Amino acid sequence: MTTAKPLTSYRKHWAQRFGVAPFLPMSRAEMEALGWDSCDIIIVTGDAYIDHPSFGMALIGRLLEAQGFRVGVIAQPDWQSADAFRRLGRPNLFFGVTAGNMDSMVNRYTSERKIRSDDAYTPDAAPDRRPDRATVVYAQRCREAFSDVPLVIGGIEASLRRIAHYDYWSDKVRRSILPDSKADLLLFGNAERGLVELAHRLAKGTKIAEIRDLRGSAFMVPRGWTPGEDWSDHAKVSHGGTPGTRENSFIRLPDYEAVKDDPIRYAEASRAFHLESNPGNARCIVQAHGDRDVWLNPPPIPLTTAEMDHVFALPYARAPHPSYGNAKIPAWEMIRFSINIMRGCFGGCTFCSITEHEGRIIQSRSEESILHEIEEIRDKVPGFTGVISDLGGPTANMYRMACKDPKIESACRRLSCVYPGICENLNTDHSALIHLYRESRQLRGVKKVLIGSGLRYDLAVRSPEYVKELVTHHVGGYLKIAPEHTEAGPLSKMMKPGMESYEKFKRMFDAASKAAGKEQYLIPYFIAAHPGTTDEDMLELALWLKRNGFRLDQVQTFLPTPLAIATAMWHTERNPLKRVSTSSETVPVARGGRQRKLHKAFLRYHDAENWPLLREALKRMGRVDLIGSGKKHLVPAWQPSGSEKPVRGMVRRHNATR
């Protein structure tokens, strides 16, 4: 892996003399109390401002503050006019715009395109506090407020829309978010390096239009533009590479005009894009949009452990901004007693956006940093009862896992380290995590440390000691895992392991629970209507659930998110995991609303509301043998009184239990 300039090696901006703010200011009165006449950087976000490292605006804001910059926050502004965007005055360096911790369309709509009734990132979960496509709307209002101020967009919404992408909510291919937002620069992924470098360069007087060499950045240029010699020279530092080598070359994706109308070209672009995701060997990516090009530099170099520790040790207040009073913010309530121990995921699940945003390289904090944060929670967070709700991240048990050989890692172009099998070069040692668990529960005042993040069970089974440690001490009755499906067809399109790994893990889990004298259960998660799934696949999954005594309350239907490989399958009905052509593999897609409803109904076969739909499907599929009142039957032939209304007390049990 190439190296990068350490985050802590910059000379601090002169405004460091103002010291640390108790909260980043959200009003002119707060700025005046800090002695500020202006902000250097203003962050606009679609989430409520919670000063905690799990929330992007706080992490980025505190990081820039530590570099000596004055950072203000405009959270969930009224977007109907530019007035709210003038609240803190004109920023000296730039506006940083993010939709928040979630894509705004995912936040506002269900997988059936129905508007959600609440928003977990808003005080008292109030809905309608952010617009559709929030990044674009906020960026436009920033331009109206101060047209000459540099405009930088980032966060997961911008990351996942950095090139032409299928948009589920409009059911069409939309162009990159750059021309729609008219931003000067897009920073994708975890953007700490790019933001710190950008802020210092702008502070020194460099024009943002001249900054074209930051890793993890995207921008628009005239069609056919190529970087000059000055870019190549600076790349020795910013890119960690050498002029003329692979990381300073580029590939051209099919144009937006081609991919918006041609599913085959779209699938080709998706495949090419995902093959350029390893920071160690990724090339620049270029995609034409009319007479201009969207230019993407290679992904950012992952943070070192020391840098991760620095980011998480910043002086967060670990609380919502005082302006929210006693309002409850569900996202904060969920994570207030949890610890993020790592970021990134090498699983490569095609439906997941983590790898497109955070990357496949695991970035882990040190044990000392994590234990210190637990003590911070114990000593400073009101309401702490001694229970840490999670030590995790994107996956609970990838902590400190990496390729055994950095040279192999830098050259690798696999989309997953664990599919179709676990790579022989992957270090799957759980010993550091086991030691962390043991040390964490020894801390004074800590009664219980739970694991709330999803577990990668195909890795866990390689360490019986880890499974024993986990099950004996860190499961609060239930443990979340995600087989996602039981059948080979959909699993191959998800890049998920077969059920053999699940069954092995379950046997180990049950044995360890019994040895510990505890009654504990696995909560498996499954996806309905994922690309590659047929009606027959969902029927087999339903039969597996019935055989194993599972009655699921909460189920999920596949939601095509921008840029994901599974979304490319959904849109094109082609498989970009393989070379794409007019004669290449086609993928069955449950696109229609009725079929999607049927697939979801199979997961809730026990719900009387679904029985008419399931009976109709079983007859069509030639499986009337599954209709009846015996143990071998999936649904009864009769319908309870109340017609097709669910009979809750009769058919529901608690989540995913036996």
At 151, list the tokens.
């405009």
Angle 449-63-201 (CA atoms, 0-180°, nearest 5)? 155
pLDDT along the chain (658 residues), means of 10: 86 97 98 98 98 96 98 98 98 98 96 95 97 98 98 97 98 98 96 97 98 97 81 42 55 97 97 95 96 96 97 97 97 96 96 89 97 96 96 95 95 95 97 98 97 94 98 94 96 96 97 97 94 98 95 90 96 95 92 95 96 97 96 93 48 32
Question: Could you name the CATH architecture of 7-219?
Answer: 3-Layer(aba) Sandwich (3.40)
| Burial annotation 263-282 (CB, 10 A radius, 16+ → b, else e) | bbbbbbbbbbbbbbbbbbbb
| Alpha-carbon gap, residue 367 to 576, rounded angstroms | 39
pLDDT value of residue 2: 65
C-beta separation of 541 from 486 below 8 A: yes
pLDDT value of residue 655: 35
C-beta separation of 555 from 540 below 8 A: no
CA dihedral sign, ordered 563, 565, 566, 567:
positive
Question: For the segment 278-335, what is each residue's pLDDT rounded down to a tens digit?
Answer: 999 999 999 999 999 999 999 999 999 999 999 999 999 999 999 999 999 999 999 9
Write the single-letter amino acid at 609.
Answer: E
| Alpha-carbon gap, residue 183 to 490, rounded angstroms | 38
Question: For the segment 520-561, what is each residue's pLDDT rounded down to a tens digit?
Answer: 999 899 999 999 999 999 999 999 999 999 998 878 999 999
Alpha-carbon separation of residue 137 from 124, 288, 595 (angstroms): 24, 23, 34
pLDDT value of residue 517: 97
List, in order, residues 6 or more apart from 315 with CB less than 8 Å away. Answer: 20, 62
Burial of 579 (0-12, 13-18, 19+ CB in 10 A): exposed
Residue corresponding to tokens 């203003």: 42
Quick check: helix, strand or coil at residue 272?
helix
pLDDT value of residue 643: 53
List, in order, residues 6 or more apart from 594 with CB less than 8 Å away. Answer: none
Phi-psi region of 224 (alpha: psi -120 to 50; beta: other; left: phi over 0): left
User: In the chain, what's the furthest Cα-to-Cα distance?
Assistant: 77
Question: Which residues lie across from 338 on neighbouring strands?
Answer: 390
At 6, list the tokens.
């350490």
| Alpha-carbon gap, residue 387 to 430, rounded angstroms | 23
φ, ψ (nearest 5 deg) of residue 8: -90, 10
C-beta separation of 580 from 418 below 8 A: no
C-beta separation of 436 from 391 below 8 A: yes
Question: Which residues lie across from 403 on neighbouring strands?
Answer: 426
Write the single-letter amino acid at 529.
Answer: A
C-beta separation of 559 from 106 below 8 A: yes
| Alpha-carbon gap, residue 525 to 135, rounded angstroms | 31
Phi-psi region of 90 (alpha: psi -120 to 50; beta: other; left: phi over 0): beta
| Alpha-carbon gap, residue 8 to 306, rounded angstroms | 10
φ, ψ (nearest 5 deg) of residue 100: 120, -165
**Residue 75: which of 324, 332, 318, 314 has the closest Cα?**
324
Helices (H), 67-112: 104-108
pLDDT value of residue 658: 29
List, in order, residues 6 or more apart from 330 with CB less than 8 Å away. Answer: 118, 120, 121, 125
Alpha-carbon separation of residue 482 from 25, 103, 414 (angstroms): 40, 22, 22
Question: Which residues lie across from 387 on neighbouring strands?
Answer: 448
List, in order, residues 6 or more apart from 443 with CB less than 8 Å away. Answer: 371, 374, 375, 378
Task: Count the Cβ atoms, other than its own, within 10 Å of residue 406.
Answer: 11
| Alpha-carbon gap, residue 377 to 369, rounded angstroms | 13
| Alpha-carbon gap, residue 625 to 622, rounded angstroms | 8
pLDDT value of residue 354: 87
Q: How far is CA 379 from the centre of its chain?
A: 30
| Alpha-carbon gap, residue 97 to 294, rounded angstroms | 19
